[in-house]
Amino acid sequence: MKKSMGSSNEAEISPAPHHSNSSGSVNSEKTQKNEEELVPGRILGIDYGKSKIGLAIADKETGMAFAFDTLKNDKEFLEKLKEIIAGENVKVIIMGMVKHEKDAESTREKIKFAEMIEKELGMPILFQDEMFTTKMAQDNIKKRGGRNIAGTDDQEAARIILQEWLDKGC
């Protein structure tokens, strides 16, 4: 399933082009394109949060996502994101999105955030289910003996979101 924008601020659920649990795009024109065409360069994964935003990076050729950074969700975020996108040659963004109706407010916030990035940066954004990624990220960090779990769980969650998208062969 994918989330695409309708005329209201609510996300609509509709079948994806070639994966039943695939990502969706904020821009409905871009969802018409094959996702392979959208991903010629590096890919940025985003785990959105009200205070922090986790970032991960991947190259389609390697099929491996890596935790990249955690940025504050403040007035400087967009400028920092622009620098990262330019410096890392990012061509598309994969953003975590909840799929259950209980998180309608979170879904609206994420769609608004994605629309802002798409408008300001002209960057295509696709959605990937983020169910339990923060919990998985915290568990991964603990297993590796990490101590600053709260400081790195957002970027690890972004890595999981991006890796799951890559693993589907998108």
CATH number of the structural domain spanning residue 59: 3.30.420.140
In a domain, 25, yes or no: no
In a domain, 141, yes or no: yes
pTM for this model (two decimals): 0.72
Asked if residue 81 lies in contact with residue 71, where contact means CB atoms within 8 angstroms, the answer is yes
Instruction: Give 9's DSSP letter.
Output: S
Task: Name the strand (E) or helix (H) holding 106.
Answer: helix 104-121
Structurally, the chain folds into a number of domains equal to 1
Domain of residue 111 covers 41-167
In a domain, 58, yes or no: yes
Residue type, 17: P
In a domain, 96, yes or no: yes
Report which of 155, 162, 148, 139 is spatially closest to residue 52, judged by C-alpha positions: 155
In a domain, 80, yes or no: yes
Q: Exposed, middle or buried, 75 (CB in 10 Å: 0-12/13-18/19+)?
A: exposed
In a domain, 159, yes or no: yes
Question: At 56, is the pLDDT very low, low, confident or very high (cuts 50, 70, 90)?
Answer: very high
Distance (Å) of CA 122 to CA 12, 46, 93, 110, 116: 22, 16, 11, 17, 9
pLDDT tens digits for range 136-162? 777 777 787 777 777 778 898 899 999
